[in-house]
Structure 1
Amino acid sequence: MSTSTATLGGRIDPSPTTLKVALGDVLLIAVFIVVGEFSHGVSVLERPLWVLGTAIPFYVGWALVAPLVGVYGRRAREQPWLAALLTAGAWTGAALVGQLLRGTDLFHGNLALPFVVVSIAVGLALLVPWRVAVSVRA
């Protein structure tokens, strides 16, 4: 089996650069969660399990959607416009998956349209500039 086939048809570049970019994504999603929790009066230090319960649906969404969209492929780092487009698609899908999971009994929270819109917008504001910056440096 070729490396390309083993990496979702080339949508994941198994390189140290991809790992660094993924760690940046994870950190920015954490910033999204922590800022959201603070804005809702939740103390991250006093309620870490609550915060984890908020974060898991979004990380699951990102883990499912981002590789399929191709944000971890080499192409996603080659041109800023493509980085922005792929990242926007991946986060929009990930946020929708996260919100759908929060609408189940598995996680706290609910599926509320205003929060869907805000979560997509804030996530885009964090992730897209990061991914464009990575592509400019590449």
Structure 2
Amino acid sequence: MASSEESFLTRRIDAAAAPLAVIDLLALSAVLTYGVVRHNGVDYLTTATGGWLLTLLPFLVGWAIVSPLIGAYSAGAAESAKAAIPLGVRAWIPAAAIGFALRASPVFSGGFELVFGVVVFVAGGVALVAVRWLFFKLRG
């Protein structure tokens, strides 16, 4: 059983895709942080750092669970924008859903509203498309 798990993860995570993981996390964190600042002001980041991080956490947990399963960091994703962008978007859909479910649960505060869901879903998807496209454009 361990070897099948290793081979599954080996097919889904490639070291060459590590830069994608970094830019994805930065992009998603930036989008979510922008929302936090928009609703609470920039001082919130220093006066309520825990609240700020707890806003990001459900979505980053969702991303950490789903992105390897979808192959967002597979060898193919590391090769071209044509492969990386669709994989990133396909991973964001269920990752965002997990984030929304966690926020709606008693574990995290914040709850869920449809408008919030649409904004986070679209903004996160656009951010992933943009940074992945830019990454491959700059990499050449």
Report the TM-score when normalising by structure 2.
Answer: 0.86
Per the TM alignment, residue 64 of structure 1 is displaced from its structure 2 partner at its CA by: 0.6
- For 1:1-138, list aligned pairs within 5 A: 1=3, 5=7, 7=9, 10-13=11-14, 15=15, 17-42=16-41, 43-136=44-137, 137=139
Aligned to 2:64, what secondary structure does the other structure show? Answer: helix
Contact 2:102–2:108 (CA<8 Å) still a contact in 1? yes
Change (3 A) 1:20 1:80: closer
Whole-angstrom CA distance in 2 between matches of 1:104 and 1:58? 13
Report the TM-score when normalising by structure 1.
Answer: 0.87
Whole-angstrom CA distance in 2 between matches of 1:68 and 1:132? 21
Change (3 A) 1:2 1:101: closer
Change (3 A) 1:110 1:6: same
Whole-angstrom CA distance in 2 between matches of 1:119 and 1:63? 17
- Length, aligned pairs only: 135
Q: Deviations over 1:22-66 (max 9, x none)?
A: 121121121012101011124111110001111110111000111
Please tell me the residue identity of whatever aligns with 2:23: G
Aligned to 2:119, what secondary structure does the other structure show? Answer: helix
Per the TM alignment, residue 4 of structure 1 is displaced from its structure 2 partner at its CA by: 6.5
Segments of 5+ residues of structure 2 without an aligned counterpart are none
Change (3 A) 1:84 1:54: same
Contact 2:70–2:87 (CA<8 Å) still a contact in 1? yes
% of aligned pairs identical?
A: 33
More helix by share: 2
